[in-house]
Chains A and B, each alone.
Chain A
Amino acid sequence: MITGPETKRTSKNEDINALIEKIKQGDREAFMAVTELYQKKVFRLAYAFFHNHDDAMDIVQETFLRLYQKVNMFQKGKDFQNWLLKIAKNLCIDHYRKNYKKSNELEINKDIGEMNIAAEKAYSVYPTSDLKSIFSRCLKKLTEKQRLIFVMKHYNQLKYAEIAETLDIAVGTVKSLNYKAVRNLRVLISPYLGGGNE
């Protein structure tokens, strides 16, 4: 019998559903198995969002604690990964609003001047670590939603439809917000890529 990707996915979902049923009964092993399966995905999302190891670790732990608290609210037949990433995404936004929003606004305003001066330098002049921090600063200038969508698409490699389900919005909106994120990033980053700012 041939087993295609569809069959694999179904059986994976069945496994997850069985594990979730066990978590509902308070099974520690099942909880650890689910954590092991999804911890890296949650970390990737949180790290790309915050660019900070400690924040990302906090989000991972808090996400699985929430998973345990809210496991009874998970509806059978729904995609578990999307549901879990939704929890992680909400935590990221809360954490960001609580700890970074004000300081980030100040930093953004301060940075604009610095970045324009630096813009005269060519792409190749920047060492990779500098480019990383420049890119991180540019990413922070995007709106929360644009940043989340870009992170989910580019770093978590989720499909548009999966992002739409996680964020509870239409696929078309995800596509258009991702395009806007890329376009804004292009405007912000083009001086550093040697293209100049049109």
Chain B
Amino acid sequence: MSNCKKHQKEMAAYLYGELPDEKQKMLEYHLRHCPECRKELAEIKQVLNGADIFNAGIDAAMKKVDWDKLPEKIADKVFKEEGAAYIPERKGRMGAFLWKPRMRPVYAALFTGVILGAVLMFVFFRLYGPLQTTEDGLHFPPGLIKNMDIEMGRRDTLDYLAKSRYLLLDFVQSSPEGAAGFWQSDITSQRAGQLLSKKRYINQQLDKYQMAKARAICDQIELLFLELTQMSSELSEVEIERIRSFIEERQLLLKINLVENELEQSEV
């Protein structure tokens, strides 16, 4: 059936004698064996013959025109007595290329880009106000700089809290005998050291943007890490148990989690 459809699509071209030899032979072979397609071809032929009725109309209309005088009549319109009424357009190849209809989408895209840019600029300045010059001579809207600062502080704090939580979890989950060794290991002391120096850095941001809750929990973590790193060489099982119960009593891990959630939700 799909074969028939393929052949039927070629039928008009066949009747106009515009089918390549090979395709023509294939169609003729198919027609010999397919009565459906023979019927289709006969109907298409009938339509084209019907269309020929109009050819007579065209011929009759053409007889009414004085073809000998028409060129002169048109030339009179083009060339008036004083000279050419219509001056030929002097568009070069570049001009012709730029005015081609296929260039329209390019112009439409450019136009849309300009309009969109203008709208975005308008919205941007409405939100952030006029530009402010920084010390480096860069121009930014004041609101934007503040928002970027807060966002960076928030992200640093989140990073600090997450890393601290992992370290404390590792400590809480280590066995009572291995806990002392855990704090004496190089990796742990390196991790704690990094967190302590990061804390010094985020202190300023926490104060500046009044993140009090985060500041309180970060201070507690800092104290704990200080104590653990200083005492790591003389940690007894009793000391370790005391620190573990301190973490559990204060629900430090849960609090860290809550503050983390709060900070994540307050994205600028």
Q: Is the CB of A132 within 8 A of B57?
A: yes
Q: Is A173 in contact with chain B by the CB < 8 A criterion?
A: no
Please indicate the chain B residues that have their CB under 8 angstroms from the CB of A72 in the complex.
Answer: 88-91
Q: Is the CB of B71 within 8 A of A32?
A: yes
Q: Is the CB of B89 within 8 A of A73?
A: yes
Q: Is the CB of A31 within 8 A of B44?
A: no
Query: Which residues of A (37-58) have their CB < 8 Å from a CB of B?
Result: 39-40, 43-44, 47-48, 51, 53, 56-57
Q: Is the CB of B86 within 8 A of A69?
A: yes
- Of all chain A residues, the one with the shortest Cβ separation from B19 is A175
Query: Which residues of A (95-139) have their CB < 8 Å from a CB of B?
Result: 128, 131-132, 135-136, 139
Q: Is the CB of B61 within 8 A of A47?
A: yes
**Highest count of chain B CB atoms <10 Å: which of A26, A128, A139:** A26
- Per-position contact with A for B59-91: 1 when CB-CB < 8 Å, else 0? 001101101001111110111000110111111
Q: Is the CB of B72 within 8 A of A32?
A: yes
Please indicate the chain A residues that have their CB under 8 angstroms from the CB of B11 in the complex.
Answer: 179
Query: Which residues of B (33-71) have their CB < 8 Å from a CB of A?
Result: 43-44, 46-48, 50-51, 53-58, 61-62, 64-65, 67, 70-71
Known: A44-B58, A155-B54, A179-B13. 20 other contacts (CB 8 A): A23-B88, A26-B84, A35-B74, A39-B70, A43-B61, A47-B62, A48-B54, A60-B70, A60-B74, A61-B73, A68-B78, A68-B84, A69-B89, A135-B50, A135-B54, A139-B54, A154-B48, A175-B13, A182-B48, A185-B51
Please indicate the chain A residues that have their CB under 8 angstroms from the CB of B58 in the complex.
Answer: 44, 47-48, 155
What is the size category of the interface that chain B forms with chain A?
35 or more
Q: Is the CB of B86 within 8 A of A31?
A: no
Please indicate the chain B residues that have their CB under 8 angstroms from the CB of A11 in the complex.
Answer: none
